[in-house]
Amino acid sequence: MGFDGKVVLVTGSTTGIGEACARAFAEAGAAVMVQGRNVERGKRVLHGIRGMGVKAEFLEADVREAGAGDRLVAETVARLGRLDVLVNNAGILYSGTALETTDEQWNDIMAVNVNALFFISRAAVRQMIKQGSGNIVNIASEWGLNGEEGHVAYCTSKGAVLQITRCMALDHARDNIRVNSVCPGEIHTQMVDDILNAKGGDLEANLKELAKGVPMKRLASPDEVAKCVRFLASDEASYVTATNFPVDGGNDATGGAFP
Ligand SMILES: NC(=O)c1ccc[n+]([C@@H]2O[C@H](COP(=O)([O-])OP(=O)(O)OC[C@H]3O[C@@H](n4cnc5c(N)ncnc54)[C@H](OP(=O)(O)O)[C@@H]3O)[C@@H](O)[C@H]2O)c1
């Protein structure tokens, strides 16, 4: 699964699943563009990756900004020479029913999770067509496959990611560009801690309770998602496109809460 000579852009790679993806591709020899808004965390990830002996750059950018998609791709090509793999990981979550979700929250979730992902993908596809090949892996969510109480905006945005995946994969199959998504379940990152902290109570106890609902009875580490992302972007998955890969400890198969 070597990525020597390949260039990978991971959006939202200053922490969590994105950071793990950036490191996983670096481990396999890729040059990596780390991206996000938090400069301190971005530089920490950057130094870690450079310490692994591969080329890496950090791009401070808010994916919601007008023209961010074109800029991210142009900067990656300018600094690292090409773009072989785009991992669309940057994502945000607001909890709330329709009645609790504000216009601002709805628009913000769509701006990051849907609009930015589409604009960056479109810019990436233009570059990949010029190069003759490419790979896009979108980080969707198990909550894009199924509904979840109190998360209408987030679930809607992740459902849209699955459709962008399918449609762009079909449109660009003949361009030698594969587009897939992964649907993580319960992955232990800041995002999950934030959801649990918002509910109140003891975080450790809440994490244990969350794990009880997963068939494998545990949360995953971000690395476990990153390895699946890397597989989908590798030649090992050369005939895989337009698909969605749940990384969820069996959650999706239960069709509901697991006893
Ligand atoms: N954790 C889970 O259980 C889980 C489950 C299913 C799906 N997911 C999805 O996996 C992805 C990563 O989640 P995570 O749990 O690793 O979340 P996280 O720890 O909150 O990290 C989110 C990342 O996205 C970046 N980001 C957010 N808004 C941004 C913006 N406007 N512009 C640029 N970057 C932005 C953040 O970077 P900065 O703060 O530096 O901007 C950060 O690096 C998301 O798409 C999430 O929806 C997570």
What pLDDT is recorded for position 256? 59
* Local confidence band at 259 (pLDDT 50, 70, 90 cut-offs): very low
Tell me how far apart the alpha carbons of residues 34 and 50 are, in angstroms, rounded to a whole number. Answer: 11
> What is the percentage of the chain residues whose pLDDT exceeds 90?
97
Rounded to an integer, the average pLDDT of 59-85 is: 98
- Give the pLDDT confidence of 2-48 residue by residue, as tens digits: 999 999 999 999 999 999 999 999 999 999 999 999 999 999 999 99
Tell me how far apart the alpha carbons of residues 88 and 21 are, in angstroms, rounded to a whole number. Answer: 10
Q: Residue 96 gets which letter from DSSP?
A: B
Counting beta carbons within 10 angstroms of the beta carbon of residue 148, is it exposed (0 to 12), middle (13 to 18) or buried (19 or more)?
A: middle
> Is 239 among the catalytic positions?
no
What pLDDT is recorded for position 199? 86
Is residue 257 over pLDDT 80?
no
Helix (H) or strand (E) holding 173: none
Cβ-based neighbours of 211, under 8 Å, separated by 6 or more: 186, 217, 218, 219
Establish whether residue 191 lines the binding site of ligand 1, counting it when its CB lies within 6 angstroms of any ligand atom: yes
Tell me how far apart the alpha carbons of residues 28 and 6 are, in angstroms, rounded to a whole number. Answer: 10
Rounded to an integer, the average pLDDT of 199-205 is: 93
Rounded to an integer, the average pLDDT of 226-233 is: 98
Neighbours of 70 (CB within 10 A): 16
Residue to mutate, 37, 39, 216, ligand 1, most ligand atoms under 8 Å from C-beta: 37
What pLDDT is recorded for position 129? 98
What does the chain come to in residues?
A: 259
Nearest ligand 1 atom to alpha carbon 111: 31
Tell me how far apart the alpha carbons of residues 14 and 39 are, in angstroms, rounded to a whole number. Answer: 8
- Give the pLDDT confidence of 122-131 residue by residue, as tens digits: 999 999 999 9
pTM of the model: 0.97
Residue with the nearest Cα to atom 16 of ligand 1? 16
Rounded to an integer, the average pLDDT of 231-243 is: 98
CA of 259 to the centre of ligand 1 (A): 29
Cβ-based neighbours of 63, under 8 Å, separated by 6 or more: 11, 12, 35, 69, 72, 90, 112, 116, 117, 120
Scanning the structure block, which residue is given the tokens 């329709």?
98
- Give the pLDDT confidence of 91-118 residue by residue, as tens digits: 999 999 999 999 999 999 999 999 999 9
Distances (CA, A) of 121 to 63, 129, 162, 179, 204: 12, 12, 13, 10, 37
Across the chain, mean pLDDT equals: 96
What pLDDT is recorded for position 84? 98
Output the CA torsion 76→83→237→165 (10° steps): 80
Report domain extents, the chain: 7-185+221-242, 188-219
Establish whether residue 62 lines the binding site of ligand 1, counting it when its CB lies within 6 angstroms of any ligand atom: yes
Catalytic: which of 21, 154, 168, 214? 154
- Give the pLDDT confidence of 158-175 residue by residue, as tens digits: 999 999 999 999 999 999
**Fold of the domain spanning 7-185+221-242:** Rossmann fold (3.40.50)
Scanning the structure block, which residue is given the tokens 């709330």?
96
202: phi > 0 → left, psi -120 to 50 → alpha, else beta; which? Answer: beta
Cβ-based neighbours of 15, under 8 Å, separated by 6 or more: 36, 38, 41, 45, 189, 190
Counting beta carbons within 10 angstroms of the beta carbon of residue 259, is it exposed (0 to 12), middle (13 to 18) or buried (19 or more)?
A: exposed
Helix (H) or strand (E) holding 15: none
CA of 169 to the centre of ligand 1 (A): 23
